[in-house]
Amino acid sequence: METTATTAQPAEDIVTHVELSDIQKAAYEEALKEVEKFKKELETKKYLVDLKAVQVTNLRNFITNDAKWKFMEALGIGEVDKNLSTAVDKHGKVFISAVTLEAIYYYLSKVEGTGQSVDATSIGTVDNYISILKALNAAKNSAAIDNEKLKELEYIATCRAEGLDPENPEIS
């Protein structure tokens, strides 16, 4: 999950091409607060992944025993395993952060198979592999929607910093 950073700056410290009125400064400050609030929410947000308990077990076994990595990718293995160990809540639902989703997806993208089996991994059959990918994809799509919302909020803040109307930036 990669996002562009918008640094929160007080309205009096921003460099714009126009002089902002007090109303425009207030609108900019409010837009910045919304961006920062949403970023903070995303830092801890976890996405529901529709996996069965056995699939989580298979996924953990895959990450700890079979995931291929090179050099610094090894750091991700430990983090993913740690996050997967706490991903299942008391009701059996699986919740995973966007960063962990991306990492799992990355390691799964390196898996190779032949015929109906996924060669030498804990994942098992092609059908199981595909169902895990589909569940991860659905959660990744939710994370992508949140990323788009963040970009929209950053766009609004940028427009407000320039004294522009985000709905119609050509006319102010």
pLDDT of residue 5: 47
Give me the residue spans of the domains in the chain: 46-148
Rg (CA), the chain: 21
3-class secondary-structure state, position 94: strand
List pLDDT tens digits, range 108-161.
988 877 777 666 567 777 888 889 999 999 999 999 999 999 999 999 999 888
3-class secondary-structure state, position 88: strand
The distance between the two most distant Cα atoms of the chain, rounded to a whole number of Å, is 67
Q: What are phi and psi of 40, to 5 degrees?
A: -60, -40
Q: Rounded to whole angstroms, how far apart are CA atoms 84 and 64?
A: 11
Q: Given the structure tokens 């008391």, which residue do they identify? A: 90
List pLDDT tens digits, range 54-70.
888 888 888 888 888 88
Residues paired with residue 125 on neighbouring β-strands, in sequence order: 117
For the chain, helix (H) and strand (E) counts, in that order, are 5, 2
Q: Rounded to whole angstroms, how far apart are CA atoms 89 and 145?
A: 24
pLDDT of residue 3: 43
Q: Given the structure tokens 């529901």, which residue do they identify? A: 48
pTM of the model: 0.74
Letter for the amino acid at 133? L
Asked if 125 contacts 116 with a C-beta cutoff of 8 angstroms, the reply is yes
Q: Rounded to whole angstroms, how far apart are CA atoms 147 and 42?
A: 9
Q: What are phi and psi of 115, to 5 degrees?
A: 65, -135
